[in-house]
Chain A
Amino acid sequence: MRYAETGFDLEIDLSRGSIERVATDPKLTALYLGGQGTAAKILWDRVPPEIDPLDPENLLIFSTGLLHSTPVPGANRTSVDTFSPQTGRYSHSLFGGFFGPEMKYAGYDKFIFRGKADDLVYLWINNDKVEIRDATHLRGKGAQETALILKEEVGDDNAQVASIGLAGENRVYMASIEHANSSASRGVGVIMGDKRIKAIVVRGTKDVYIAQPTELAEISIPMYKEMYDNKDCGDSMAHGEGDEFHVDNFAWGNARTRRNQFFTKEMEEEWISLEDKLRMRWTGCHNCPKDCHQAINYPGRMPYFQKCYSKLTYAMGSFGDLDFDYNIIGITQEYGMDAYSTPQTIAFAIELYEAGILTDKDLPDFPGADGETVEGYNINTSRFFYLVEKIARREGIGDVLANGIYAAARQIGNGAEEYDHNTIKKFEQVPIKLGYVNYPYFLMYATGEKMNITQIEGSYPQAPIVDKKEREEFVKNWDAAPERFKKWFMEWEPRTNVSLEAAVHICDWNEAMHYIDDAIGTCAFLSSFRGQFGGRPPYHIYNMPDFITRASGIELDSDELWEVARRNRNLVRALNIRRGLRRADERPPEDHWQKREPENEQKLLDMYYEFKGWNNDGIPTRETLDKLGLNYVSKDFIQRGILE
């Protein structure tokens, strides 16, 4: 009997129209745990680097986490893994809600899509009954509109739907996959669209088995209250806290302008009253007591769920206000567009227009083209609406912008490259521009494989606590941290960098926790992302093994769990190495910090690579790979001449 997991993947070949339920090897679960880990293994085995991301042979994998559908609260992150045409490399996104758990109740750990359908289709997966159905009647329909229609069509309100909107259909690179109160972005929606999958509808009524039932319940049931009462977990930003931080510290426009002390008391009051007016309800994800997602009913828009920092991305990209942001998400979320990269791409285009690089010929009838201004009206907001349409439809210049900033800048040329200043490895980053290089952050930005800092940072605090007594108190209660970090934290002088050595370990710990979350499906807001604020993440390296063992029967301790994180991290690294990633690619945007330390930065890379067991070019060595049981990777590297 398999515990926690179902032991079956669903393989769907869209070119041939074939569907297969395939038993999986429990040994692979023991090695990679599930989620992103086992998905990376499949991508390694079946999508060699010769396969272009838009080739039918590319795979799109939806993975449950090992702990989905167990009583362990807050395990609901579904991992989507594929290769992205924007970067040519590995692409990974997580979404919350209810989809993964429903997959398991239907009897599957993964949905693996291969090939391409001739025209739009949707999948109706009802336990053992799986059908590929025509979806051409849904062409151009919004993501949630689609979900509503399909629930009716299959006649089951309890079904869970993941769907794409216009952007995905049109293979816009920043297309997202939308589900209930959550979205997956970071380059996965375009592949769903490319495979012509408009939606996946799943319903399950099967049992998921638990290895050590009473033992698991014993530690899981008290977690609900612990999480609920723990103010340092969940998304406090969604609840207004942190607005000031983001407004004052993140950069506006095309990641350019800091507006220090822009946030005022009046703004805060205005914002809170606007949100109270628009919000229907706070909601949570499957089996989680937190409520990070607000259901927004903006007049004239399909009700949608706002989460995370998206309530500011459009506002800040356009120098607009909160009302504008809530207004435009009502459109972009139905189109299925990533709320991080879309506003940046648009702000980039506006800058190019203002610089004369894009002209009225590229942007016919562009709002404000005549130079006329209206008192108190921000013309950028009209331009945002205009450009959203162009991009979602890949119309005119939108067809270029839809390839993301890096590629668009090069396609436009004529100096546009200068305006691409906030991408790493061809991918748009959070608009942060700061004063002085920060060692651990340098490493996380430079070497991260997950493309967004929020998926890499999170366990070690961003700043020391000034008051020594408070800091001691903090360290005393810091159950989540291995001893060495407590020492470094105590020694940390405010406004100075940690040591190079500490930076290496901090980067390693931060990313390890994400690799664990993304394999077992626990939400980063309950573990890997939240330790940095308050130091009390409900899940951490020391208590996770118990949850895993009791749910799945896989025996492991904290060291062994860290070893799994290392294995998954190296495997994901290997996917990108095989696609050409090298040390030269590993740099944060030049202007991320005003003051840099080029020498120390290179030293950091040296030390980090060495610590990781990678060679000087960032390639995992044969010894490292073999020790982790990744012999098949080292063998391939040698065959390809990547390693000697």
Chain B
Amino acid sequence: MTGEAVSNGLKKRIIKEIKVNLDKCIGCRACEMACSGFHAEPKFSSTNPARSRIRVIVEDRKDVYLPIRAGDYSSAECAGRNTYTINGKDYSQCSFCTVSCPSRDLFKEPDSDLPLKCDMCESVPPLAEPMCVQVCCCDALTYVEREEVVDVKEVRRDEIDLGLESLISKHGIEKVAKIVAQIARTSKG
């Protein structure tokens, strides 16, 4: 996220957004392949759609093809900032999907259960377009950047925050705190 100061406390920043046109999706899952490959360590050393931060919900007999990205973690959510085109019409909010919200359990690492989050493929050097958009040739996914003036006091929540928050929601704060303390003790010794 880049930004320049506008006036006190406010900043202009570039909002990166992926528009999703459900009408164009062919259900190929190339986006899952590319995302999981790109986020492997080292890059592309493995593929696994279950680690992808975009998942395509398919119910082929009902003509449901729904690519959703993992947004900031809460117990059930896709990327809230998505714009969806469904049957030719644009929607900017949740709950318009043609299936009941399916994203609840999708975005977790298969081994650790830690939450996955779309990071817009931030990397050095930056990509011209996020990976999923690059491989989605039929333009079901398109990349747009727009400027927005925001309050800088808004804190950016990083992966550790999100991971901890999910653990807390799953196991309760006391248990997590206890384990963190334990780890701190053993790694010191």
Contacts and interface: CB of A to CB of B under 8 A. Distances in A.
B61 A217 contact: no
B40 A213 contact: yes
Given A206-B48, A284-B27, A228 B61 contact: no
A282 interface: yes
Interface in B10-40: 26-30, 33-34, 37, 40
Contact of A207 (B43, B48, B58, B137): B48
A98 B44 contact: no
B76 interface: no
Interface string B40-56: 10111111111100000
A522 B18 CA distance: 30
Contacts of A71: 33-34, 37, 44, 47
B172 interface: no
Interface string A489-511: 00000000000000000000000
B151 interface: no
Interface in B122-169: 134-135, 137-138
Contacts of B51: 207
Interface string B56-68: 0111111101000
Contact of A210 (B45, B49, B63): B45
Interface in A254-303: 280-289, 291, 295, 297, 302-303
B110 interface: yes
Contact of A288 (B30, B57, B59, B60): B30
A303 B61 contact: yes
Interface string A185-229: 000000000000000000011111110011011000100110110
A221 B131 CA distance: 9
Interface string A91-107: 00000001000000100
Contact of B134 (A213, A224, A280): A224
B118 to A, nearest CB: 19
Most central of B28, B34, B51, B63 by chain A CB within 10 Å: B28
Interface in B62-108: 62-63, 65, 102
A105 B37 contact: no
Contacts of B59: 157
B63 A221 contact: no
Nearest to A151: B59
A104 to B, nearest CB: 9
A42 interface: no
Contact of A289 (B30, B102, B110): B30
Contacts of B34: 71, 221
B137 A225 contact: yes
Given A71-B44, A228-B137, A228-B138, A148 B61 contact: yes
Contacts of A224: 30, 134-135, 137
A285 B28 contact: yes
Contact of B26 (A69, A180, A210, A282): A282
Given A224-B30, A288-B30, A291-B138, A180 B60 contact: yes
A280 to B, nearest CB: 4
B52 to A, nearest CB: 11
Interface of B: 26-30, 33-34, 37, 40, 42-51, 57-63, 65, 102, 110, 134-135, 137-138
Interface of A: 69-71, 73, 98, 105, 144, 148, 157, 180-181, 204-210, 213-214, 216-217, 221, 224-225, 227-228, 280-289, 291, 295, 297, 302-303, 305
Given A105-B50, A205-B110, A287-B30, 8 more contacts: A157-B102, A205-B50, A209-B45, A224-B135, A283-B60, A286-B28, A287-B33, A303-B62
13 contacts: A157-B57, A157-B59, A207-B40, A209-B46, A213-B44, A281-B63, A282-B26, A283-B26, A283-B65, A285-B28, A288-B28, A289-B26, A303-B61
